[in-house]
Structures are given as structure tokens and as C-alpha cells.
Amino acid sequence: MKRLNNIFLIGPMGAGKSTIGRQLAEALSFRFEDSDHEIQRRTGVDISTIFEYEGEEGFRNREQQAIADLTNQEGIVLATGGGAILREVSRQNLAARGVVIYLHCSPEQQFSRTNRDRNRPLLQTEDPLERLRQLMDEREPLYRQVADLVVSTEKRGTASVVKEIRRRLETELS
């Protein structure tokens, strides 16, 4: 059995990782952390600026380091970026250091939740919905590979998802 010392939320952008993570951390009396916010804190600039100057590769290097550091903590709920699972070392750190929950939702749901957000560098394209579909095709197998639990956030409120996660943590992983 995995120890419930940390909970790591993975999944695509717009799945609700940050929103759900904050409420889940509060419900469990854990500390909430967000890998994207940690990267911004360390660099002093937003994610879009990192992408602009360092490209996706530079951002992924920073993300890998942030995830390595954050997953070494105890008693946290960590919301990761949508691409956090792209690096093997990050997948290993997530899987080895806590319970990994894949928050799943369709590209269409992601689009409805993110289409007005200009701070998503990977969506600054002609057809953001098609880009979300491509990202899901590439990343879905990696999300499932590392996940201990898969929870749908499709057309659901935060409280409902948090309640399901708490129930499943007690019944399936304890």
C-alpha cells in the first residue's frame, strides 16, 4: 500500500488540478503546492515568458527540477502542469513519493475551461481545440501509466470531485 503522505494531481490543462488541489489540501489538512507557481516564484516571471525565452525544453528542465524538489516534501497536495509527466524522471518521482491522481476530462471540456486564458503558451495557435486533442493523444498513456487513481472532472463541480477523491483514498488505497 502506498503511504498517503503526499497526493500528486496530474492531468491536462483545464482538468481542475489547482482548484481541486487547494480544496483537497484544505479538507485533508495538507499543504497545497503548485509546480507552475513554484517555477514562477523561482524565476520571477510567468510561464509564457519562460517559453518565449527558453522554449518548451527550457521550461521542462525547470519543471523537472521543481517536481523533484516538491515531491521530496511531506504532507502536500501538489498540482502539476499538464506536461509534468513528459519526463521519465518526473514520472518516477511522482510515482515513488506519493499517491498520483489523474484528473481526466475531455479536450472539449478543457477548451471550454481554458479558451479565454492567454497564459497558456501551448494554446497560442490557430486551432486550440485541435491542439488540446493532440496533447491528450500524446499524454493520456503517460497519465494512466503513473496514476494510482483516475477521477473524471468532466462537467463536475469541485466539491463533488474532492468528495470522490477522499472516498476513494479511504476505500481503495488504505
d(CA 79, CA 143): 14
Across the range 138-160, mean pLDDT stands at 96
Determine contact, residues 104/152, Cβ cutoff 8 Å.
Answer: yes
Considering the entire predicted model, what is its pTM? 0.93
Average pLDDT, the chain: 92
d(CA 160, CA 74): 26
Fold (topology level) of 6-172: Rossmann fold (3.40.50)
Taking phi over 0 as left and psi of -120 to 50 as alpha, with beta for the rest, 78 belongs to: beta
Give the pLDDT score at 122.
62
Query: At 102, is the secondary structure helix, strand, or coil?
Result: strand
pLDDT (tens digit per residue) in 87-141: 999 999 999 999 999 999 999 998 888 877 666 666 677 888 898 999 999 999 9
d(CA 32, CA 20): 10
Give the pLDDT score at 2.
59
Name the burial class of residue 134, with classes exposed (0-12), middle (13-18) and buried (19+) by CB atoms within 10 angstroms of its CB: middle
Q: Which residue type does 70 have?
A: L
Across the range 138-149, mean pLDDT stands at 97
Give the pLDDT score at 174.
64
C-alpha cell of residue 28: 485533508
Confidence label for 167 from pLDDT (cuts 50, 70 and 90): very high
d(CA 35, CA 156): 24
Query: At 162, is the secondary structure helix, strand, or coil?
Result: helix
Query: At 112, is the secondary structure helix, strand, or coil?
Result: helix
Give the pLDDT score at 45.
95
Confidence label for 6 from pLDDT (cuts 50, 70 and 90): very high
143/115: higher pLDDT: 143
The distance from CA 64 to its chain's CA centroid, rounded to whole angstroms, is: 13
